[in-house]
Amino acid sequence: MFELINGNAQKLDYSFLLLTHLMCADQQIHNKEWQYLKQVENTLMVSVFTKEEQDKIITQDETMLSVETVAQKIAKTEYDSLIKQLVQFAHIDDFYAPSERKMIETIRKMWGLSQRQVKYLELNQSLQKMTPLAPIKHSKKKINLGDDYTKALKQCAKVANQDFSLTKKYLKETKIILEVLEKTIIRQLDYHKNHNSQFKNETYKDILKQLEATQQSLNTEINKQIDQAIDSLHAKERSLKYFTIAFMGRTKAGKSTLHAVMTGEGWEAIGVGKQRTTRLNRVYELSDIRIIDTPGIGAPGGKSDEEIAQSVIDEADVICYVVTNDSIQETEFEFLKQLKEKSKPLIVLLNLKDNVKDSRRLQRFLKNPDKLFKKEGNDGIAGHISRIRRYAKEHYSNDYFPIIPVMLLAAQISKEIEDKQQAEQLFKASRIDDFFTAIRESIIDYGSIRRSQTLLGSTVGNIEQPNQWIKKELESYQNLTNTLKDQSVNVQKNIKQAQKDSRLLLKQRIDETFETAIQTIPSFAEDYWNADADTLQREWARKMNQIKLDKRVENSYKEAGQQFNEVVKDILDEVEQELILMSNLNGHKFKFSQQDSNDFWRMALKFGGGLLAVGAGLVALFFPPFAVILGGVAFGGGILNALGGFMKSKSEKRKKAVNNISDNLRSQLKEQQEETVEKMCNEFDTNCLKLKQTINTYFKNYFEIFKELYECFILRNKDLFENCDSLNCAYSKRIIDYSRQKYEPLTENNINKIIVKVDRKFGDEIKIQTQHFLNLKVNQSQLEQILQEKISIIDLQGKSLLK
C-alpha cells in the first residue's frame, strides 16, 4: 500500500509493521522474533520507508504509527492470513504473553473476526509451523561451561517446574482471597447505603466514602499488584528451562559490549543506517542461559532506573549491574532497594575503562595487564570497590554480593582481531573469565536454589504487599473502633453527669421561682383579706403576672436546657477532635464534619426547645387561670363568712382571713411546686434519654460498619498469612535441600516432615526451625552469601544446624 510521506507516495508494508508492534508488545525484543522479522524483511524486500517506521516502533518514538492506525491500513483480503501469522509469531519465543494476546484481541475486534476463529488458532498454533529460522550459532566455550553444566541446568529446570506449580497455586489463591475481600466490602457498602436511612448524617456518609476509598484502593492498587505478579509469573513460565541473567547499567557502561562478548552477536544492528537506542529490553537465549539486556539507565527520554529494574526483576535469577571506574555515583545504586525488596541476587561488574584501541596503549596493557587491576596504591581500584560497597549497602542493606573487575573493551577487541595469540592474551587479560566463573557458579553451584529464590522466595513479597496493606487497614479500623467505644462510654458518662447537673439546676430555679411567689402571699392576703372571690381571683392573677411566674418557670427550662446543651456540645466536640486525630494518625481521610457536629448541637437545641415547650405547657396547666388556687381562696372566704358571727372585732376577722388566705395559697403553691418539679424533671429525663439513645444509635452504626470490616480483614489477613507461610515453608525446604545436597519432590508431606516453623523478615532475614537434627553441608556464611539474606536454621531444641 502507498502512503503519502513528505508529499511523495511511498510504499509501506503495514503487515510488517504490525508484526513489529507485536514483537514489542511485551516490552522486550526476543532474538528469535528479531531474526524472524529479518527473514521477512529480506524475503519481502521491504522499503527504506517501512524500515524507518519500524525503527520508530522499536525505539518507541512518539511519532510512531499506532497499532490501531497500522491495523486499519490492512486490506480485508489479508485479515485471515495475517491474523494466523500474528498468532504464530506471538508463540515463536515459546511463550504467548498476556500483552500479545491483548493486542491480537484488539486487532480481532477491529477487523470483525470471530473470537472462535482466533481461539482456534491459539489452541492449534503448535501445528502451524512457521518458516524455520536459521540456527543460532554460539559456543559454550565463550562462557567456560563444563560437563556438569547440562546436569545443573536439568536440575534447575526440574526444581523450577515444581516451584512454579506451587507458586502459581498460591498466587491464584491470593487473587481469590482479595476478590472475596472486595466483594465483602462492596456488599457491606450496599447494605449500609440502603439501610439505616433514618440515620444518614454527613459523618455517616463520610465513613461510607472512606470504605469506598478502601474498596477502590483494593481494586486499583492491590489487585493490580497481584495481577502484575500473575503476569510476571507467566513471564517466568517462559524461562523455566533457562537460567536468566539481567544486565543493567547506565548508558555506555559496557552492557552492549558484555552482551556481544557473551553471545557473539551485537545488537547495534537493530534499526537501519545507524545504531538505534530502544527503550525495550532485549532477550537472547544461549546454551540454556537467558540474557536480558536492559536499556541504558539515564538515556535521554528513556525509562527511569526503577522502571528498568521493575521490568526484569521478577524474571531474572541474578542481576548483573555494570558500572565504570570513571564515574561511580551514589544515585546509580538507588534502584537496588527494589532488588532487596524482591530478595534478588546481585553481581556488580566493575568495567575498567582504558582506550586500548590505541596501539601504544594496547601494547602497554598487554605488557602488564595486572597493573590496571591492582587494588592498592594511588592508581588502585580498592577505592572504587569500597565506594561501590558503601553506596550499594545504603540501598541493598547488605554487602553479600561480589564485585568483579573486568575490562570489557579488551574482551571485545579479542573477538575482533585476527591474531589468535594476541586475541587469547587480550581475552585473558580482560578477566572476563572471572565474570563467566561467577555465572558458572551461579548456575552449577547455586542454580537450583536461585531458581527457588526467583519463584518461591520472591513471590512471598508479592503476597506480603497486600497482606501488609490489610494489616494497616485492620489496625486503622481497629484503632478507630476502640476509640469510638471509649468515647461512647465517656459520652454516656458525661451526658449522665450533665443531665444530673442540669436537672438539679432546673429544680433549683423552679424552687426559687415558687419561693418568690410564696413571698408575695403575706402582702397579698393583707391587701385583699376582705375581698370577694372574683376580686381575689383577678388580683392574684395580676400579682402573678407582675412577678412573671410563668415566664420565670419557662426561663428555668431555658437556663437548664442551655446549660445542658453547652455541656453536650463540649462533650461531642471533644469526641470529634479525638476521632479526627485518630483518623489522621491512621491515614484515614474521613472526619466528623462541622455539619455533623452541628447536627448534635441542633439535636440538643431542639431538645432544649422541646423542654421549653413542655415547660410552657406545665405553667399553663398548673396556673391558668389559677382556678385551683382561687377555689381554695373562695373556700377560705366561705370559712371567713361562717366564722364571722363569732369574731368579736374587725381586727380578729382580718387576722383570721389573712391567715386563711395565706395558708391556702401557700399550701396550693407548695403542692403545685412539687408537682411541677416532678413533672418537669421527668420530662427532662425523658428527653435526655431520647438524646442518649440517638447518640447510642450514632455510635452503634459505626460499630456495625467497623466490626464487620474488622472481622472481614481478620479472616483475609489470616488467609494471606497462611499463603505467605506456606510459600516460606516451601522455600525453606528448598534451602534445606540445597544445604543437604539432597533434593526431594516439593510435596506438602515432604515439607511438613522437615519444616516446623519459619519466621521471615522479607528481604532481610529468614529463621527456619526443623523437626530434627540435619547434617548440613554448607556453613552460614556461604548460605547468606548465596541467598543474600541473613539466615538461621535451628532444631526443636533451638540448636543451630549451621556452622
Highest average pLDDT, of 128-132, 145-149, 614-618, comes from 145-149
Instruction: Tell me the domain boundaries of the chain.
Output: 2-127, 240-456, 471-722, 744-794
pLDDT at 298: 58
- Residues with Cβ within 8 Å of residue 260, at least 6 apart in sequence: 266, 267, 412, 415
Lowest-confidence region among 206-210, 422-426, 510-514: 206-210
Helix (H, G, I), strand (E, B) or coil at 30: strand
Please write the tens of the pLDDT for every residue from 376-429: 766 678 888 888 888 888 877 667 788 999 999 888 888 888 888 888 889 999
662 versus 594: the higher-pLDDT residue is 662
The residue count of the chain comes to 803
Nine-digit cell string for 746: 516439593
Nine-digit cell string for 613: 415547650
Is 153 a residue whose pLDDT tops 60? yes
Assign domain 240-456 one CATH number from 3.40.50.2300, 3.40.50.300, 3.40.50.1370, 3.40.50.510.
Answer: 3.40.50.300
User: In what side-by-side order are the strands of the sheet with 790-794?
Assistant: 755-761, 765-770, 790-794
Mean pLDDT rounded to a whole number for the chain: 79
CB 404 within 8 A of CB 388: no
pLDDT band (50, 70, 90) for residue 243: confident
Please write the tens of the pLDDT for every residue from 583-640: 554 444 434 333 333 343 333 333 333 322 322 322 222 232 333 332 233 334 443 4
Nine-digit cell string for 344: 534478588
Q: Which CATH architecture has domain 2-127?
A: Orthogonal Bundle (1.10)
User: In what side-by-side order are the strands of the sheet with 318-324?
Assistant: 28-30, 281-286, 289-293, 243-249, 318-324, 346-351, 403-406
Is 47 a residue whose pLDDT tops 50? yes
Rg, the chain, Cα only:
44
CB 12 within 8 A of CB 49: yes
Lowest-confidence region among 209-213, 398-402, 580-584: 580-584
pLDDT at 364: 83
Closest listed residue to residue 197, CA positions, set 590, 596, 705, 701: 701
- Residues with Cβ within 8 Å of residue 518, at least 6 apart in sequence: 665, 666, 669, 670
Helix (H, G, I), strand (E, B) or coil at 405: strand
Closest listed residue to residue 175, CA positions, set 564, 654, 719, 696: 719
CA–CA distance, 707 with 198 (Å, rounded to integer): 20
Bridge partners of 10, per DSSP, are 3
Helix (H, G, I), strand (E, B) or coil at 96: coil
CB atoms within 10 A of CB 752: 12
Residue 422 main-chain phi, psi, to 5 deg: -65, -35
pLDDT at 274: 40
493 versus 137: the higher-pLDDT residue is 493
Helix H or strand E segment including 11: strand 8-11
Pairing of β 755-761 and β 765-770: antiparallel
Helix H or strand E segment including 697: helix 650-740
Please write the tens of the pLDDT for every residue from 298-344: 555 556 656 777 777 778 888 899 998 887 877 778 778 777 777 67
CA-to-CA dists, residue 349 to 549, 592, 711, angstroms? 98, 57, 51
pTM of the model: 0.68
CA–CA distance, 142 with 436 (Å, rounded to integer): 8
CA–CA distance, 542 with 537 (Å, rounded to integer): 9
Is 642 a residue whose pLDDT tops 70? no
CA–CA distance, 766 with 77 (Å, rounded to integer): 60
Please write the tens of the pLDDT for every residue from 455-495: 898 888 888 888 888 888 888 777 777 877 888 888 888 98
Sign of the alpha-carbon torsion through 723, 724, 727, 732: negative
Return the amino acid letter for 143.
I
CA–CA distance, 298 with 251 (Å, rounded to integer): 6
DSSP of 279-314: SSEEEEEETTEEEEEPPPBT-TT---HHHHHHHHTT
Residue 684 main-chain phi, psi, to 5 deg: -60, -45
The one-character DSSP state at 95 is -
Helix (H, G, I), strand (E, B) or coil at 320: strand
CA-to-CA dists, residue 104 to 25, 65, 112, 115, 335, angstroms? 10, 17, 12, 10, 34
CA-to-CA dists, residue 677 to 216, 462, 544, 558, 696, angstroms? 56, 69, 18, 15, 28
Nine-digit cell string for 703: 460499630
The one-character DSSP state at 441 is I
pLDDT band (50, 70, 90) for residue 187: confident
pLDDT at 196: 57
